[in-house]
DNA sequence: CATGAATGAGTCTTCATTCAT
DNA sequence: CATGAATGAAGACTCATTCAT
């Protein structure tokens, strides 16, 4: 019917459009007017579904961040073995795929995120992930290796654009490098 | 003293304050009013020295980005050996130290930077660095290793906060990991 | 009463006040703040109804200029006789009465109008009117007579202030002079 | 010598550029910065020669308006004959040629001029001219004819653009029509 | 569920003007 | 004669937010 008014899913649609625009043009530069226009509703309609602009981000963070939270919970229940760490990386890679726009938004709007109420939550998550992957007793080089493994997986969103090849191949290569880094960290620490 | 009007250095002082605030609170959220107030001048004074707000960023980018440009020029004149790549990383590490606030700003305001006129220049710089460090003929995993080496050095600005230890030690550890990654990339490709 | 918030007519009221002020004090010297204050609303309210300041002028031009456009359409459908021309002048005189403030604004802010997007439209209108009233084959003196007939009718807005007498008498006199000019142009051309 | 610094004629050059820009883009929209840039001097330099922006206009008005003032003085000393009126028109036509940019400026920035201190002076001049050309005892139609004669000569600056032909021919035609109008006014009044 | 209308605070930017040098 | 540096006031415009309907 062309402009059939979707009922009930407006909240979802707001989130979709908002995330897309936030990731693409930045949180501050994306106005509620733009979001409303993309959805062909009025700004006031947004306020029926969300209390504030920040609230939209918050909801995105909560909804899309769940996989990561679950991953952390899972990780904390596993034995601290090498295999656990490798599996954590594999699952993290998969989680990044799904939550890519959110991650891109976080990555590209760090300064903004820090001021938002989610800032701390986000930081905590990252610390938790980092705590699962590295061994605080290990030599610093090995800890750096582990954190780099984690961090490097974010690189595929932009730093790897220079490299030719399809996205799936890159994803695999990045994961391989990350797994390698953790293995090296583990091996080295085991010797010490 | 106190409110002595410094002569001639106003432009410099604007740049200093602007960079600090842009890096800390983000480009969009930093208003010219704030910058002016920090300097105890009027907004209009800023416009005497810079045509627009973007112009301030541009000037920062040009002034502080020079070391990086010089590094790229240097790199392009060297033979494409492993040792060159290692030296590039070492110098890159040093350059990051000096241009740290700028880099932090770039890192944390990517969405903004992309829309600014410096966006493309910045991207080109990164591509140029990446082209110097990786071998486009090498297997993808090795290319990823090289780019990760580069990229990981940015991590020390925030991802490594979780790790205990002083900044200098971290800097060294990060560099070591990066050098290692490039060596691995090189060794593996040499075999292939 | 008093500060009763009139509903629905705000747009109209903005146009009224704006036209009055633009005509009186000039477009550039009339700020949106002034318009808003006259209406006892905020500047932002103006922006709810009009996208830009220029947009207000544009809307005035479109709404109040319609009689003139219709007159041109009418003229283009008539035979090119003397009587048509005389009737055109009579109707033009009447149209000027109605759209007087707009015409005064146009007349007094020509430099501004030229830079606005309406400039060209305005010019086209005037050319169209002029094309209806003069005969491009006629001797130049007669063409000038015809255009002068048209143009002189604008004079009553200011050049005739020096003459004593009431407005209605002046209007008639101006029309008579204009009709005369066109008759002369016609007679002379007919002989040649 | 390329950028030879003209000495002593800066004041004159400011007037020239200012008039040109005022006439072209309007008084309000022409900033002192623009004028200064056109002259390749600083804004502050303008203030050495003129106390204010309005002062520039004032000086233009005084310097370039002199021919008109002299014409008025001349007219007031002549007998009030038809021939005097015709000569007034001829001289007025010539004066318009010389002071054309100023006249264009006046014509196109009426709203602005009215607010400036020259407004009244300008009005007085026009009244004086009008008083010389028309007979306050004559029937209104004839007074209108006379004033139209005067007023119509301004038309050549824009209303006559539609007519093909070179500027000099138009000038002559306009003058002829104007002379005619005054003759008619005179003849008619003489009969009454 | 959603809109129309409006607000208050704030944005970047421009301007005419000043004055010590 | 002229400039470099600065100011105070104001400009147009945008934004997140509110609320009666």
CB-based contacts of A20, cutoff 8 Å, min separation 6:
A101
Residues of A in contact with B108 (CB under 8 A): 109-111, 114
Percent share of chain D, pLDDT over 70 = 93
Nearest to D110 by CA among C161, C66, C32: C161
Residue A130 Cα distances to A133, B95, C77, angstroms: 5, 27, 82
pLDDT digits (tens, 9 = 90+) for C114-145: 899 898 888 898 899 999 999 999 999 999 99
Chain C nearest CA to D45, separation (Å)? 26
Contact B170 A140 (CB under 8 A): yes
Residues of B in contact with A129 (CB under 8 A): none
Q: Report yes or no on chains B and A touching (3+ CB pairs under 8 A).
A: yes
> What is the spatial distance between Cα A64 and Cα C137, in angstroms, rounded to a whole number?
76
pLDDT at C123: 87
Contact B25, A115 (CB under 8 A): yes
Q: Tell me: pLDDT of B27 over 80.
A: yes
Percent share of chain C, pLDDT over 70 = 94
What mean pLDDT do residues D43-50 have? 95
Identify, with chain letter, the residue nearest to nucleotide E17 (CA–C1').
Answer: D52
User: What is the distance in angstroms measured between the alpha-carbon CA of D44 and the sugar C1' of F15?
Assistant: 38
Residue D76 Cα distances to C14, D61, D151, D153, angstroms: 48, 21, 19, 21
pLDDT digits (tens, 9 = 90+) for A137-166: 999 999 999 999 998 998 877 778 888 888
- For the purposes of burial, counting CB atoms within 10 Å of the CB of B76, is it exposed (0-12), middle (13-18) or buried (19 or more)? exposed
Encode burial over B159-177: b for 16+ CB neighbours within 10 A, e otherwise.
bbebbeeeeeebbebbbeb
Strand F nucleotides within a 7 Å radius of protein CB atoms: 1-20
pLDDT digits (tens, 9 = 90+) for B143-155: 999 999 998 998 7
Contact A11, A18 (CB under 8 A): no
Residues of B in contact with A27 (CB under 8 A): 111
Contact B15, B53 (CB under 8 A): no
Is some CB atom of chain B closer than 8 A to the CB atom of A9? no
> What is the spatial distance between Cα B56 and Cα B39, in angstroms, rounded to a whole number?
15
> What is the spatial distance between Cα C14 and Cα C45, in angstroms, rounded to a whole number?
10
pLDDT digits (tens, 9 = 90+) for A54-104: 999 999 999 988 999 999 999 999 999 999 999 999 999 999 888 888 888
What mean pLDDT do residues C176-189 have? 93
Chain B nearest CA to A124, separation (Å)? 10
Q: Tell me: pLDDT of A36 over 90.
A: yes
Q: Tell me: pLDDT of D35 over 70.
A: yes
Identify, with chain letter, the residue nearest to nucleotide F2 (CA–C1').
Answer: D45
* Position D2 confidence tier, pLDDT thresholds 50, 70, 90: very low
pTM comes to 0.89
Chain A nearest CA to B62, separation (Å)? 22
Residue B165 Cα distances to A15, A132, A142, angstroms: 40, 18, 13
Give the nucleotide at minimum CA-to-C1' distance from B46.
F6
pLDDT at A2: 44
> What is the spatial distance between Cα B99 and Cα B97, in angstroms, rounded to a whole number?
6
* Position A7 confidence tier, pLDDT thresholds 50, 70, 90: low
> What is the spatial distance between Cα D160 and Cα D170, in angstroms, rounded to a whole number?
8
Contact B160 A147 (CB under 8 A): yes
DSSP for C170-191, please give it.
HHHHHHHHHHHHHHHHHHHHHH
Contact A39, A21 (CB under 8 A): no
DSSP for D79-112, please give it.
---HHHHHHHHHHHHHHHHHTHHHHHHHHHTHHH
DSSP for A119-185, please give it.
HHHHHHHHHHHHHHHS-TTS-HHHHHHHHHHHHHHHHTTTGGGGS-S-HHHHHHHHHHHHHHHHHHH
Contact C100, C157 (CB under 8 A): yes
Q: Which chains touch C (3 or more CB pairs under 8 A)?
A: D
Helix, strand, or coil here: A156?
A: coil
Residues 158-187 of chain A whose Cβ lies under 8 A from any Cβ of chain B: 158-160, 162-165, 169-170, 173-174, 176-177, 180-181, 184
Mean pLDDT of chain B: 90
Nearest to D57 by CA among D146, D114, D118: D118
Q: Tell me: pLDDT of A122 over 90.
A: no
How large is the angle between the packed helices A167-191 and A140-155, nearest 10 degrees?
170
Q: Which chains touch A (3 or more CB pairs under 8 A)?
A: B
* Position A123 confidence tier, pLDDT thresholds 50, 70, 90: confident
Residue with tokens 């493309």: B120
> What is the spatial distance between Cα C60 and Cα A144, in angstroms, rounded to a whole number?
67
> What is the spatial distance between Cα C92 and Cα C125, in angstroms, rounded to a whole number?
12
Residues of B in contact with A165 (CB under 8 A): 140
Strand F proximity: list residues 36-75 of B with CB under 7 Å. Answer: 41-45, 47-49
Q: Higher model confidence: residue D119 or residue B39? A: B39
Contact C170, D141 (CB under 8 A): no
Residue C56 Cα distances to C6, C17, C32, C66, angstroms: 20, 11, 10, 16
pLDDT at C2: 41
Give the nearest partner residue to D177 out of C23, C144, C155, using CB atoms: C144
pLDDT at C191: 60
Contact B43, B33 (CB under 8 A): yes
CB-based contacts of A137, cutoff 8 Å, min separation 6:
A189
> What is the spatial distance between Cα C68 and Cα C60, in angstroms, rounded to a whole number?
13
For the ranges C150-164, D7-21, D86-100, which has the lowest average pLDDT?
C150-164
pLDDT at C6: 52
Contact B141 A177 (CB under 8 A): yes
Contact A109, A25 (CB under 8 A): no
Residue C79 Cα distances to B157, C83, C84, C85, angstroms: 82, 9, 7, 9
* Position A1 confidence tier, pLDDT thresholds 50, 70, 90: very low
């Amino acid at each position: 019917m062309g402009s059939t008014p979707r009922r009930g899913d407006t909240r979802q649609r707001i989130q979709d459009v908002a995330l897309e625009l936030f990731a693409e043009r930045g949180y501050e530069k994306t106005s509620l007017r733009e979001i409303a226009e993309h959805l062909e509703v009025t700004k006031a309609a947004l306020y029926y579904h969300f209390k504030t602009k920040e609230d939209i981000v918050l909801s995105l963070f909560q909804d899309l961040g769940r996989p990561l939270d679950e991953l952390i919970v899972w990780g904390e229940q596993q034995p601290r073995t090498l295999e656990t760490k490798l599996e954590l990386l594999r699952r993290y890679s998969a989680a990044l795929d799904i939550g890519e726009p959110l991650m891109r938004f976080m990555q590209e709007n760090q300064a903004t995120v820090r001021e938002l109420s989610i800032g701390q939550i986000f930081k905590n998550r990252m610390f938790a992930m980092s705590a699962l992957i590295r061994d605080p007793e290990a030599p610093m080089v090995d800890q750096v290796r582990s954190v780099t493994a984690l961090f490097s997986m974010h690189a595929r969103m932009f730093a790897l654009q220079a490299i030719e090849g399809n996205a799936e191949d890159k994803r695999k290569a990045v994961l391989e490098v990350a797994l390698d880094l953790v293995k090296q960290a583990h091996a080295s620490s085991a010797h010490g």
